[in-house]
Amino acid sequence: MTSPLEPMPGGGSRQLAALDVSFVDDPAVVKEAASEDYSTHIMPRSWRSGRGSLAMAWGGLFSAIFWLYIAAIVAVTVGTANALVGILLSVLAYGAIAYTLTRYASKHGLTVALLSRRLFGYFGAALAPLIFGATAIYYAVFEGSIVASALQNYFGGGDIRLWYLLVVVYSVPLVMGGVRTWLDKLNGVLLPFYVVGMIALVIWASTQHTASVSLPDPGLDLAAPGWLWAFTVYMGVWVMMLYTFDFARFSKVEDSKFAGVVTFGPVFYFCTLFLNGLVGIFLAATVPGVVGAAGISENGLVEAIISTMGVFGLLLIIVSQTRINTANLYLASSNLNAFASRVFKIKLSRTSWAVVAGGFVYLIMLTDVLSYILRALAWQGVFVVAWVGIALAHIALTRRETGVPEFRPGRLKLVTPAAGVWLLTSILGIYLVEQGGTVGATWSAPITFGLSILGYVATYRFDALLHRPNDPCDEVKDAWETRVRCHACEKSYVALEMDRDPRADHQAICAGCAAEDAGFYHAAVQEAAGANTASARMVTRA
């Protein structure tokens, strides 16, 4: 292996420092990955999970009272028939998008935050993990509040703030282990309890009340057919696509088709959206009190489950919400980590960020959360839909490229035109939500999605890369299998994420350390400018 030559200011050149390479995982990195899961690094293929392990870890997203709630409220609004058509269309849309994102994430091993660097630039990408982390925290608030409400309801009172605290205190430690070392096992153990519990709930309720799934269409003016309105409601939960991307990078490349169809794709969403949705509609149509004067609330469903099953209903709620909140808090912690390391240059472990995320969840629970959280989720949902549109457009436009999308901080421009597309389409979507009346509320997500795709296609031709010489990937035979030691943290990562640090005699530096060091980026920009100037001079001389 020969190191490249570095041009000298006065003419001539010199040999760059040789890369310190190895072909096995760094033991220190492996130990760290047991809880960190390469949250700010590319996922090496040696750390991928098997089919069963990944399905169990991801399966926590299957069990959530939220899926029952959203189906019930849609059915009450547009009737059972329209709701089921909208849900089945959502299964197809979710399944197709998740399949595409799963295959891409498995192939490249990137998180949402890392891919966003390629889409929006080194600075422009900072917004993605912030929105993703905040959305995961808000959903953790929702689901955690349900457990607290169930405990208060069953035990007959007590200060709800103490129940909130109890839920957070027991939830946070559950996400301190990584996906393949803990979350897969936890959710695997809890899955049968959820499935059996849901079957028992349906049977139990049928013996106590007249079973039904029939809810009439009240004929409300929704600016769209009822089935289409139902579909747009489920677009508001496309944050699941971001969840999919961050989990799918754990899939082995050879398992990506299975993962895209079963683990993350149509099979998963048929169970999650349709089967759970049927249970939610069944409860709304069967159990008295679920549909109140003010409509349906998640607390109303909680009371219905506990009144039907007693202590077993309480256990079912705890199991279901514990499973979903492992995913919420895990992704909140990993994305807060990515955001803070990039923007504030704060370097903490993901487990530390799990504690921080739990603190945020508790503080939000103490506020009048229902007065603003739905609006906050609606706003964030618009940003998410736009991100999905841009990501799908990028995948389609680069489908013939064989390499990993550029995500290294020192080889990306500060901001790309796509960042402007993302921001402008999201602002338009928020405007439609807030000022567009019924039409805006119904059509904001589809309009935002379509415009984000068109906007990215229109701006894709603009170069997003910072062109610099001396790429370590060019110095090794297999950039996936070769590990290179970073001069800053002294740990070895796959060559695909390594760069050379212009400030340190061009020694190798990993993507994590590079992102946390503003000085590195300034030096990289200067080096790129110098390289471009030198190239221009050579062209002139020729």
Please write the tens of the pLDDT for every residue from 285-306.
999 888 876 678 777 888 899 9
pLDDT at 297: 74
Q: Which of 302, 347, 356 is nearest to 329 (CA)?
A: 356
Listed residue (431, 371, 358, 31) closest to 165, CA to CA: 358
Nearest CA among 454, 396, 470, 468 for reference residue 421: 454
Q: Is 31 within a domain?
A: no
* Tokens coding 493: 């990562």
Number of H helices, E strands in the chain: 21, 7
Q: Of 163-177, 288-302, 311-325, 337-351, give the lowest mean pLDDT range.
A: 288-302
Is 60 exceeded by the pLDDT of residue 202? yes
- pLDDT exceeds 90 at position 12: no
Does residue 30 sit within a domain? no
pLDDT of res. 539 = 41
Evaluate if residue 415 carries a pLDDT over 70. yes
Query: Span 482-494, mean pLDDT?
Result: 98
Question: What is the Cα–Cα distance from 382 to 449, expressed in whole angstroms?
Answer: 8
- Which whole number is the average pLDDT over 345-373? 88
Q: Cβ contacts of residue 85 below 8 Å, gap of 6+?
A: 227, 230
User: What's the gap between Cα 309 and its chain centre?
Assistant: 34
Rounded (10°) angle between helices 27-36 and 350-365: 10
Instruction: Select the more confidently predicted residue: 373 or 1.
Output: 373
Pick from 417, 441, 459: which residue ends a domain? 459
343 and 261 in one domain? yes
Residue-level pLDDT at 289? 83
Give 16's pLDDT tier (boundaries 50, 70, 90).
Answer: confident
Q: What pLDDT, on a 0 to 100 scale, did the predictor assign at position 293?
A: 64
Burial of 23 (0-12, 13-18, 19+ CB in 10 A): exposed
CA atoms within 13 A on the CB side of 329: 35
Asked whether the predicted pLDDT for residue 160 surpasses 80, the reply is: yes
The answer to whether residue 318 is domain-embedded is yes
pTM value is 0.93
Give the domain extent around 525.
Answer: 5-25+467-541
Average pLDDT over residues 48-63: 94
Alpha carbon distances (Å) from 241 to 135, 236, 287, 387? 12, 11, 33, 10
Q: Are residues 403 and 488 in the same domain?
A: no
- pLDDT(353) > 90: yes
The number of folded domains in the chain is 2
| Cα distance between residue 109 and residue 48, in whole Å | 9
Q: What is the reported pLDDT for 7? A: 55
Shared-domain flag, residues 61 and 101: yes
Q: What is the mean pLDDT of residues 433-437?
A: 94
Q: Mark whether 184 and 160 lie in a shared domain.
A: yes
| Domain boundary, last residue among 411, 434, 459 | 459
Domain assignment present for residue 443? The answer is yes
Mean pLDDT over the full length of the chain: 92
> Greater confidence, 6 or 243?
243
Strand partners, 507: 501
Please report, rounded to a whole number, the percentage of residues in the chain having pLDDT higher than 90.
81
Residue 58: which CATH number?
A: 1.10.4160.10
Alpha-helical runs (H) found in 109-253: 112-120, 127-155, 160-171, 184-208, 226-235, 239-248
How large is the average pLDDT for residues 88-107? 98
Q: Is 80 exceeded by the pLDDT of residue 85? A: yes
> Which of 459, 486, 512 is at the close of a domain?
459
**Pair (111, 172) in one structural domain:** yes
One domain for residues 237 and 186: yes
| pLDDT recorded at residue 139 | 92
pLDDT of residue 541: 47
Buried-exposed string 203-230: b where 16+ CB fall within 10 A, e elsewhere = ebbeeeeeeebebeeeeeebbbebbbbb
Average pLDDT estimate for 484-491: 97
> Do residues 431 and 347 share a domain?
yes
**Burial of 536 from C-beta contacts in 10 A (0-12 / 13-18 / 19+):** exposed
**Statement to judge: residues 445 and 505 lie in one domain:** no
Contacts of 124 (CB under 8 A, 6+ apart): 116, 414, 415, 416, 418, 419, 422
527-536 pLDDT, tens per residue?
999 887 655 4
Average pLDDT over residues 354-369: 92
Sign, Cα dihedral of 330, 334, 339, 345: positive
- pLDDT of 437 reads 94
Please indicate, yes or no, if residue 425 is contained in any of the structural domains.
yes
Look at 525 and 538; give whichever has higher pLDDT.
525
Pair 14, 115 in one domain: no
| Weakest mean pLDDT among 238-242, 518-522, 528-532 | 528-532
pLDDT in tens, 453-482: 999 999 999 999 999 999 999 999 999 999
264 & 413 share domain: yes
Tell me what pLDDT residue 240 has: 96
Give the whole-angstrom CA distance, residue 114 versus residue 338: 9
Residue listed under structure tokens 């920009």: 525
Q: What is the pLDDT of residue 537?
A: 52
Using DSSP's 3-state secondary structure scheme, residue 233 falls into: helix
Q: Report the percent of the chain where pLDDT is more than 70.
A: 94
Q: Is 32 part of any domain? A: no
| Residue 16 CB-density burial (10 A; 0-12 exposed, 13-18 middle, 19+ buried) | buried
pLDDT over 60 at 448, yes or no: yes
Residue 538, pLDDT score: 46
Instruction: Tell me: pLDDT of 211 over 90.
Output: yes
- Those residues whose C-beta lies under 8 Å from the C-beta of residue 215, and which sit 6 or more positions away, are 75, 76, 79, 80, 83, 281, 284, 285
Distance CA 210, CA 253 (A): 49
Residue count of the chain: 542
Helix, strand, or coil (residue 490): coil
